Amino acid sequence: MDTKLGNYLDERFGWRGVWAAIFLRKIPHVNWLYTLGSATLFVATLQIVTGILLTMYYVPTPDHAYDSVTYITTQLPAGWFIRGLHHWGASAMVVLTVLHLLRVFFYGAYKYPREVTWSTGVLLLLVVVGFGFTGYLLPWDQKAFWATTVGTRIIAVAPGIGPWLLRVARGGDELSAVTLARFFGVHVWVLPAALLALLLIHMYLVIRNGISAVPERKE
């Protein structure tokens, strides 16, 4: 974009340098396994978009949560499609993130100078698992209620602070309206903030340090 407008913006934002650093950088010869990171980023974007759309109709209270999900699925135009994308996208996020980390591990791409890139990737996996755990309760049906009851009970086995962590997670001794509100808040505010922050750091490090080439076989 070698125009007056392009030059004007480049002088103030340096967008040409950013464009070159992201899209014109040199990439070694790779294979299809290297697309797992991009696929995960695409699904994460899809989850953000569909999640925002769902929050416009979802009501995080015990007496309305299930009904609002039913309304989205059965009456809202394309609601079943949006919820389906979000539901299956959550599973896809976990699978793709794990596969991406496995590719990085087995290819040795976590070594110098990419140790911090690997660490942020591991933290992103924890955030993704957190999304799945907190989002599972939101439909507030029997399956979600009892699965979360079992899931939160696992926290209680932590030595020393287990019972305290259980009360923090549930907002009390049992699952209640406070638990639903707490899971909803973490799902739509805390975890998205952590996801975006870690993604920015992760992407910066990928661009800064580059990606590793496919390991060569030793004959």
| 214: in domain | no
| 151: in domain | yes
The secondary structure of residue 3, as a DSSP letter, is S
Which CATH number characterizes residue 55's domain?
A: 1.20.810.10
- If residue 99 lies in a helix (H) or strand (E), which one and from where to where? helix 79-106
Residues in the chain, overall count: 219
| 164: in domain | yes
| 174: in domain | yes
**Range(s) of the domain holding residue 190:** 30-209
For the record, the structure tokens of 29 come out as: 């010869």
List b or e across 117-153, with b for residues whose CB sees 16 or more CB atoms inside 10 angstroms: bbebbebbbebbebbebbbbbbbbeeebbeebeeebe
Alpha carbons within 13 A on the beta-carbon side of 61: 4
| 183: in domain | yes
- The number of domains in the chain is 1
Q: pLDDT of the chain along its 219 residues, tens only?
A: 568 888 898 899 888 888 888 888 888 888 899 999 999 999 999 999 999 999 999 999 999 999 999 999 999 999 999 999 999 999 999 999 999 999 999 999 999 999 999 999 999 999 999 999 999 999 999 999 999 999 999 999 999 999 999 999 999 999 999 999 999 999 999 999 999 999 999 999 999 998 888 887 665
Whether the full predicted model's pTM is greater than 0.85, yes or no, is: yes
For the record, the structure tokens of 209 come out as: 């340090």
